[in-house]
Each structure stands twice: as structure tokens, then as C-alpha cells.
Structure 1
Amino acid sequence: MDTLRTFLNSLAPDEQDRFAADCGTSLGYIRKCISGGGRFSAALCIAIERKARTAQPDLIVRCEDLRPDLLDDWLYMRNSGCAEVDSAQGISTPITAGEMA
């Protein structure tokens, strides 16, 4: 969660709100989860990782850090062939249906 906190704090307040909205949630809910008062859904973890990587590729926010209790699931998804590995950053990116065609 520290990486997500660092990422959010690097954004201007209006950018923080936009980021949360782009992820399909509110900034208040993200802050609540960071402080331990809530838990991100798996889908929201994926949206946060994807949007944060797009916004700031050098600061990696990972699903594994947001929901470590789902570590086995994240590892399965990253290693199942449904993701491509970005070897430069050591992270995986889900492959969309259009990319598979």
C-alpha cells in the first residue's frame, strides 16, 4: 500500500480525483483502503495497477501489494499465458482479447 500512497501523493489533488474516477471508485474509498478501513476488490486492484502504470511507469503499483491475501491468484494470472511480461520492468500486463486475435 505504501507504493499506492506514494503514487497518489505525487499527483495534484484534481489528478488524484481523476485517477480514482478512472479506476471506477472514489479517492475517499482508496484512502480508506490504504488506511486499513476497507479492502479493494480484485477488479479494483487490476484497475489501479493498470491506471497507475499508465500514469507513472517508473513507480509500480502491483495487485500483490494491494491484496496480498490473493497472492496465489495474482501469480496464477501473471504466469498463466494470459499476460505478457514486460521484461524491462519485471511486471506482467494482461493481454486483451483484441491482442490475442
Structure 2
Amino acid sequence: MEHQITPFEALKRACEVAGGQSALGRICGVGQPAVWKWLQSAKRLPAEHVLKVEAETGVSRHFLRPDIYPRELAAPPLSDHTSLCGPILSARRMAGHGNRSVTLDESAA
């Protein structure tokens, strides 16, 4: 199983890749003290900076903020979809099965 890093570990990694707290602050448009505060107390990157940090450092948004950017679940195999979907009925066909809505008939036009 793949090791899932925490948002705090991802933030520390982004800081390392950027070249330090000041460099990460420049990416985010904030000062080094703000980055220090994220590392010391918040333990996660504020949401408004995630996409910029991902683009500049390559640290995935899924690791930086999994609460906002969760990994997509794998789609079930196609054979499983058939049991989830019922038949698709046309309006004309449904009109003959108790549906009281008016059916558009090409010959009446």
C-alpha cells in the first residue's frame, strides 16, 4: 500500500522544494512569518494558496489539502454499471404506460 503523507508533511515538503519559508512565502504572496505560523500552529496550507504551491513545487494538492482536493475513487468496471442503470424510455413509449403527459406526435404537426 502506498504511504499517504499528511498535509503537514506535504507543507514541509513544499517548503523544502521552494527553497525555504521565505521562498514559499513569495510563491503565496505572504511573508516568511505567515509560513512559519502555518508550520507551527495551523499545520496545513491555507486553501487559497494550494494551487499556486502545487504549480510551483510539484507537491500535489491531494497531499496539501485532502479535505478540499480528495483523490478520485477508481471507477467501477463497466460491467458493474449495467446493474445500476434501468432502461431508458422515450416519451412516446412512456405515454403508453400510464404517463398522462402529452406525447408529441410527428403526424399531428
Q: Specify the TM-score bucket, using the shorter chain as the normaliser.
A: 0.3 to 0.5
Query: Higher relative contact order by CA 8 Å / sep ≥ 6: 1 or 2?
Result: 2
Structure with bigger gyration radius:
2
Higher strand share: 1
Higher helix share: 1
